[in-house]
Structure 1
Amino acid sequence: MRLVRHPVLCNYYVTYRCNARCSFCDIWEKPSPYIQLADVEQNLRDLKRLGVSVVDFTGGEPLLHRQIHEFVGLAHDMGFITTLTTNCLLYPKYAEKLRGKVDMLHFSLDASEKEVHDKGRGVACYDFVLESIRVAKELGERPDILFTVFRENLPDLEAVYRDIAQPNGLMLIINPAFEYNSVETGEQLSSAELDYLSAFGKKRGVYLNEAFIQLRKDGGNHVAAPVCRAASTTLVISPSNELVVPCYHLGEQKFPIEGRLHDLYHSPEVGRMIALEGRLPQCEGCTINCYMQPSFAVEINKYFWQALPSTLKYNVQKGTWKRMLTR
């Protein structure tokens, strides 16, 4: 049964450019412009009309955009829940300007040892993560540690939790890696390793969407009976001010927004693409967290019930439920 029939999330790509070279991502290979403030202002107004509640300013590396603090500030003041994930290379520079404007601030950290983390990210950023934690705490911010899990770094999870997240009073978010297009993430986690993650996710100060684990055990999305609701729950806006449908990772079609996001989303052309969400050939076996997370939140099924406890746990511990009540 569908609970919510309007989009709830916007993945707003401020640029595809990135100052890291992560082995599990290809976005940094793309040429890219930067979004414009006038477009952001108009699109946020339309997102509000469409019923969107969360705006994730993403990239690339979002802090490469010199106006990023203006974007998140505008969205925050309009009542959106704002999120931003950074590799931390530029966070100390922008920290003061971002203060109080990002509801869910995520610092990426995938290993407990500097050499291992920096190798995976293709650039020396481990020390910047630790410095960013210090700076954020001094400013009264409450960032999360976002740990992207692969088979090769699974043994590091405990050390990051014990030595970095817990001593600093930070939430540890477990983000199971996913494959898309030609990007490979190594050998897939076994059933036993997925069970280990499930148990770890129950620790104090740890967030893991349990539905991610079940989806992987089920072989991902299946086109015959799709669980993915990417296009109907999530709007993807490109740095070129295009609506990308059904999702960034497939990017089947791109529609110029031209100041008419609300009407464009309800147009027949976009509607036909929304109807294909989770049903395209490349959707078979998909486990992309960015779109499964909102998909699990809008429809009552087994994934909804598995996702609910961890979602409540995160929002209670972070206090974001207060923002949701005042929207």
Structure 2
Amino acid sequence: MRLVHHPILCNYYVTYRCNAKCGFCDIWERPSPYVTYEQVEQNLKSLKKLGVKVIDFTGGEPLLHRDIDRFVHLAKELGFITTLTTNTLLYPKYAEKLKGNVDMLHFSLDTADQAKHDEMRGVACYDHVMQSIQIAQSLDERPDILMTVFEENIGDIETLYQQVCLPNNLVLILNPAFDYNEVETGQQLSPKSLDILKKWGKKKNIYINGGFLKLRKEGGNQTTNPICKAASTTIVISPENELILPCYHLGQQSFPIEGKLEEIYQSQEAQKLIALEGRLPECQGCTINCYMQPSFAVNVNKYFWSALPSTLKYNRMKGTWKALL
């Protein structure tokens, strides 16, 4: 049973540029412009009319955009829930300007081992995360620690949790790594590792979406009976100010927005692509977290019920549940 029939999330790529070189991501290799304030303002107003609730300002590294503080401020003024993930290299520069305008601020940190984290990210950023935690707390901000989990670092959850998250009363988000297109992230998480993540999800200040774990154990999205609702739940806007369908990671087609986001999204051509969500050959076995999370939220099925406890737990911890009503 479908609960929501309109998009609820916008993944807004303000730039593909990044000042890190993570081995599990290829976005930093792509040339990219920066979105303009005028484009963001116009598109946010259209997104509001389309029913979107959450704006995820993403990249690349979103803090590379000199107007990122203006974007999150505008989104909050318009009543959106805002999210932003950063490697923190530039957070000290923007911390004061971002204060109070990012509901879900995520600091990427994959282990409490400085050398290992810096190697995984391709740049020395561990010390910046530690510094950024202190700066954020001095501003009464409460960032989350976002850990991308692989087979090679799943054993590091304990020290990261005990040494960084609990002492600072921060939520630890466990984000299982996924492959996409030609980007391989190494050995996929084993059933044993998925069970380990499930156990961690029961602990205080830890979030792991139970639907992610169930989907992976069952082989990912199945094109014959797709769970993925990426295109109908999530609007993806590129730095070129284009609507990308059915999702960023497949990017089958891009539509120049030119001030007509609502019209383009509702057009017959776009709706035909939206109808193919989860059914394309490339969709078989997909487990991409950023599309599955909203997919689980709009359809009452076994994944909805698997995701619900962890989703409620996180929104209770962050105080954002009322804004979702």
TM-score band w.r.t. shorter chain: over 0.9
Number of the residue aligned with 1:313 = 313
Q: CA deviation at 1:324?
A: 3.5
Which whole-Å CA distance do the structure 2 matches of 1:158 and 1:267 have between them? 49
Structure 1 pair 297–324 and aligned structure 2 pair: CA distance change class (3 A): closer
Is 2:58 the partner of 1:61? no
1:40-51 matches, within 5 Å, as: 40-51=40-51
Number of the residue aligned with 2:144 = 144
Amino acid across the alignment from 1:25? C
Which whole-Å CA distance do the structure 1 matches of 2:123 and 2:260 have between them? 39
Number of the residue aligned with 1:303 = 303
Number of the residue aligned with 2:89 = 89
Q: CA deviation at 1:8?
A: 0.2
Please state whether the residue corresponding to 1:167 is helix, strand or coil: helix
Amino acid across the alignment from 2:217? K
Which whole-Å CA distance do the structure 1 matches of 2:272 and 2:324 have between them? 31
TM-score by length of 1: 0.99
Which whole-Å CA distance do the structure 1 matches of 2:185 and 2:41 have between them? 36
Number of the residue aligned with 1:34 = 34
Amino acid across the alignment from 2:150? F
Amino acid across the alignment from 1:13? Y
Is 2:4 the partner of 1:9? no
Amino acid across the alignment from 1:283? C
Number of the residue aligned with 1:248 = 248
Q: CA deviation at 1:190?
A: 1.2
Please state whether the residue corresponding to 2:106 is helix, strand or coil: strand
Is 2:198 the partner of 1:198? yes
Which whole-Å CA distance do the structure 1 matches of 2:156 and 2:144 have between them? 17
Q: CA deviation at 1:323?
A: 3.4
Which whole-Å CA distance do the structure 1 matches of 2:78 and 2:51 have between them? 13
Please state whether the residue corresponding to 1:255 is helix, strand or coil: strand
Is 2:191 the partner of 1:188? no
Number of the residue aligned with 2:283 = 283
* Structure 1: runs of 5+ lacking an equivalent: none
Please state whether the residue corresponding to 1:250 is helix, strand or coil: coil
Is 2:98 the partner of 1:101? no
CA RMSD, 1 decimal: 0.6
Q: CA deviation at 1:133?
A: 0.2
1:204-215 matches, within 5 Å, as: 204-215=204-215
Amino acid across the alignment from 1:52? V
Q: Report Cα offsets for 1:207-247 as digits up to 9, x if no partner.
A: 01011000000110010110000000000000010000000
Identity of aligned residues (%): 67
Which whole-Å CA distance do the structure 2 matches of 1:53 and 1:324 have between them? 7
TM-score by length of 2: 0.99
Q: CA deviation at 1:321?
A: 1.8
Is 2:128 the partner of 1:110? no
Q: Report Cα offsets for 1:150-193 as digits up to 9, x if no partner.
A: 00001101110010011000000000000001111111111111
Number of the residue aligned with 2:23 = 23
Aligned length, in residue pairs: 325
The structure 1 segments of at least 4 consecutive aligned residues displaced by more than 3 Å after TM superposition are: 322-325
Greater shift after overlay, 292-301 or 180-189?
Answer: 180-189
Is 2:136 the partner of 1:123? no
Which whole-Å CA distance do the structure 2 matches of 1:317 and 1:30 have between them? 36
